Structure formats: structure tokens, C-alpha cells
Chain A
Amino acid sequence: MSLLELEAVHKRHDEETAGRTVLRDVSLQADAGELVVIWGLRRSGRSTLLRVAAGIEPPDAGVVRFDGHNLADRGERLLGKGIGYCQRTLRFADGHSALDHTMVGLLSRWVPPAKARLHAHAALERTGVAHCARMTQRELSSAEVVRVRLARTLALRPRMVVIDEPVKGVELGERDPILALLRSLADEGLTVLSSTGESTGLSQADLGLVLGDGQLRGAPARELAPVVPLHPGVERQASG
């Protein structure tokens, strides 16, 4: 059983696109430790696919399962815990720093402030922006913004990270380090589901797929990266 499974998913956008079918019989599986990248043109439905996979939007037909559970039954409860959806935009509250922003998700889940600060710091460090902890949004570069977004997601210790167009708008020279970061997260055992409109984002993916005309195509043979548990201690406790 794969960690994420989409089975014959259909999705239609009625209001925005005059009844256009954006996902047509889409099936997809992603395992722990896999970096799966969806390539598609603008308005191909790749963002919709990611939102459906993350349980943010329900499919019109078909099933989305995370760890064997149908997201239609437990969608929102999984978000942020099992599934980490990385917001496309970053909006700090007025006067807030990157650290404050990274802590928000933890605090809203009743994690005590001291512990939340610790986790947020660790996440910022993991994504390579510990030096930005005190910075405000205006002080961050486009690459640092992506890293802070990722840190906020990782602080919640998800098993899967869903990130839409991680290198869009990022300076050319800063793209590869971000892709390397995503690759390393997958190598640590996380499932990473990402989308891209540029071929750059496909680099070193375990599975690259094209979304066009509502259909998911192309499945070159998987080359699985070695799976290393991200939080071996936590896993032992859970299974024990």
C-alpha cells in the first residue's frame, strides 16, 4: 500500500472555468521517500491536483487515500499532521518574523509556545534559513520565502509535503539548492509531491508525470531512493 493513492479521480471547476473538467480519471501512487513531480502548463490543473491530493479540495468522483484512509472521511484532520500542504504565498502578520510565522501552525494546534519555538527553529534550520528567523517578510529573498514556507510545513512534522511550484519566481541560481532540499527531504523518508511548469523542477524526481487535458501521463520506471525514516524515534513509539 502506498502512502498516497489517488484512484480514478475526477474534478470539475464549475464556476471559474465554465464547467471545464480539470482532472479526468487521474490515478497516482506515491510512496514514502519518493519525490513525485507533476509537470503541466498553466491552467493544466496541476495546482488542483495537488490540492485534491492534500485533501484541501474533495474530488467530484474517485478516491484519495492517505495511509490507507479515505480523505473524504478524515480530510481536514490529516492536514498539517500527516499531510503538510505548503502554502503558495507567504503572508506574515504585521510585525511578525519568519520564526513567528513558522510557529503559527504549531501554536494553533496547542503546542506550548516554548516547544513551538524549538520546533520552528529546528525547521528553519532544516530548510537552511535559521539566519532569517528574526527577519520580516520584506527582508526575505524569493528563495528564502520558499524555505520559510517549507519550514512552516515541516515544523508540523508531516509524512508528506505537498508543494506547488517550489521554484516559480525564484532566481535562477537559487533554484537548484531548493530542489536539492526537496530531494533531501524525500531521501529522509518524506513523500514529496510537487508541481512545476518548468523542466527544472523535474530534476532528480523519482517519478515525473505530465498533466495535460485533465489526464496524467507518462510514467518512466521508478528509481526509488533509499528510504530513511525522518523521525525514527517517533516511528518506534508509534509502532511500539
Chain B
Amino acid sequence: MKAGKASGDQAEKHDTTPMRSPVNWALLGLVIERPSYAYDLAQRFERRYEEVLPLSNIGHIYTALGVLAGRSLVEEIPGTRAGRQPKPHYCATPLGTLEYRDWLIGQVGEDRRRNQLFVLALGALTNEPEHLREVMTGYERACLSEGMHTPISGAPETASDSASALLGRLGEEENRLAVGAKLEWVEYARQELKKLDGRRRG
């Protein structure tokens, strides 16, 4: 399958809507990192994102490339389609690079949306205090478990300096600090729910 005109054309019809697919954004990042052809990008995608964005079908990468091309976020490098087995290479457009940066910064908002979703969903249990308490206890335990399973980084002088090791460490640290914030939130929520419980009884 190729990142063909068909899928690109289809994407053009929707190119004013926000691009939500994390696969598309992750692929754009790989193109920015190093322009290449579809098959190589698919391989790199699997290596980089295999644990966080598993692909059910590698064909998704070709479709995603079509979407990116349709939105003018990537473009074909002229002259790379030549030869008996053409391998059109893609590079990011200036717009693609800018949008990618904005998307990364916008992840703060995504976290907020995810948190809101969680709290709203939790709200469904406010009339079932027993269930709510059980969920809070389970959530707290899950946070503890997450914190306990976070690896301890090696000493700076022994830690690998490779980019992938650094990315791994940065990811773990972000997660670890987020777990602390969640544990604090559970404490806050418990206190507030206790007050609510008191008001209802009073």
C-alpha cells in the first residue's frame, strides 16, 4: 500500500478539523526527525512506539502519511519516486513542524481533558458512597503500585547516554511525578467527600 493520492485527497476534505489521531502526530514527529519513505517510517514507528501506540495493522502508517500529506504537514521530496521500485521520500513542511510543536505544547490541555473525563465519570458514583470509596481506595492502590514499580535511574555516570535511554528516563520521571500529584489529589478528594458526607448526614 502506498501513501496514495486517494487517501490524501480524502483527508483534504477534513483538513480544517483538528487532527486528533496520536498515530498521525507520532508519525509526523518521525518525519521531522528524519525524512524517509513509508516502509522505513513504519519500521521506525514500530520500534519507537511499540509499547505506547501499538499498531493493529502496519497499513495505518500509509493511511496516516496520506492524511499528513493532505493537510500539507508533509510533502514528497521531488525526484524520489524515480526508478524501478520507487520509494517516495517525505519531509515535513514548515507548517508541519509548527503544528507539531503546537501539538506537543497542547498536551498540557490533553492531560486536563483526561482528568476532567475521569472526574466526570467518577461523578456517576456520588450517590453510591460505598462504591465511590472503593473506587478511591482502588485508585490510590493503583497509584502506589505505579510509584513502586517506577525504576530507579542509574547513577549519572553509568546511565546510558543514548537518546532512547534518555527518552525512557524522561518518560519515567514524568510518570513518577504525576503519581505523586494523583496521590495528593486522592487525599484532597477523600477530605472533600468526607465533608460532603457530613453535610448530608447533618
Residues of A at the B interface (CB closer than 8 Å) are: 37, 39, 41, 173, 176-177, 179-180, 183, 198-200, 202-210, 212-213, 217-220
Query: Does B148 contact A220, Cβ atoms closer than 8 Å?
Result: yes
Interface residues of chain B: helix, strand, loop or mixed (majority): helix
With A176-B153, A177-B155, A213-B190 as contacts: A208 and B184 at CB distance below 8 Å: no
How distant is B100 from chain A, measured CB to nearest CB, in Å? 28
A-contacting residues, B142-197, CB 8 Å: 143-145, 147-156, 176-181, 183-184, 186-187, 190-191
Q: Of B137, B147, B153, which one neighbours A199 at CB under 8 angstroms?
A: B147
Extra A-B contacts (11), CB below 8 Å, given A208-B144, A220-B141: A173-B156, A176-B153, A198-B180, A199-B178, A199-B183, A200-B176, A202-B147, A203-B176, A204-B152, A208-B147, A208-B148
* B76 interface contact, C-beta 8 A: no
* B140 interface contact, C-beta 8 A: yes
B184 and chain A: residue at smallest CB distance = A41
Q: In the bound complex, how far is the Cα of B179 from the Cα of A25, in angstroms?
A: 26
Q: Using Cβ atoms and an 8 Å threshold, which residues of chain B touch A212? A: 187, 190
Q: In the bound complex, how far is the Cα of B193 from the Cα of A212, in angstroms?
A: 14
Q: Using Cβ atoms and an 8 Å threshold, which residues of chain A touch B190? A: 212-213
With A199-B176, A210-B183 as contacts: A205 and B148 at CB distance below 8 Å: yes
A-B pairs, 10 with minimum CB distance: A199-B180, A202-B147, A199-B179, A208-B144, A220-B145, A176-B153, A199-B147, A208-B148, A218-B141, A203-B150
Total interface residues on B, using CB and 8 Å?
28
Q: Using Cβ atoms and an 8 Å threshold, which residues of chain B touch A217? A: 137, 140
Q: Of B137, B143, B148, B184, which one neighbours A203 at CB under 8 angstroms?
A: B148
Query: What total count of A-B pairs have CB within 8 Å?
Result: 78
Q: In the bound complex, how far is the Cα of B139 from the Cα of A218, in angstroms?
A: 10
Q: Using Cβ atoms and an 8 Å threshold, which residues of chain B touch A218? A: 137, 140-141, 144
Query: Does B140 contact A203, Cβ atoms closer than 8 Å?
Result: no
- Give the interface centre of A199, A200, A209 by most chain B CB atoms within 10 Å: A199
Q: Using Cβ atoms and an 8 Å threshold, which residues of chain B touch A173? A: 156
Q: Using Cβ atoms and an 8 Å threshold, which residues of chain A touch B183? A: 39, 199, 210
A-B CB contact pairs (8 Å), 10 listed:
A37-B148, A39-B144, A173-B156, A199-B147, A199-B150, A199-B179, A202-B144, A203-B151, A205-B147, A206-B148
B141 and chain A: residue at smallest CB distance = A218
Q: Using Cβ atoms and an 8 Å threshold, which residues of chain A touch B180? A: 198-200
Q: Of A179, A210, A220, which one neighbours B152 at CB under 8 angstroms?
A: A179
A202 and chain B: residue at smallest CB distance = B147
Q: Using Cβ atoms and an 8 Å threshold, which residues of chain A touch B145? A: 208, 220
Q: Using Cβ atoms and an 8 Å threshold, which residues of chain A touch B152? A: 176, 179-180, 183, 203-204
How distant is A145 from chain B, measured CB to nearest CB, in Å? 18
Q: In the bound complex, how far is the Cα of B178 from the Cα of A179, in angstroms?
A: 18
How distant is A176 from chain B, measured CB to nearest CB, in Å? 4
A179 and chain B: residue at smallest CB distance = B152
Q: In the bound complex, how far is the Cα of B102 from the Cα of A31, in angstroms?
A: 50
How distant is A188 from chain B, measured CB to nearest CB, in Å? 16
A-contacting residues, B108-166, CB 8 Å: 137, 140-141, 143-145, 147-156
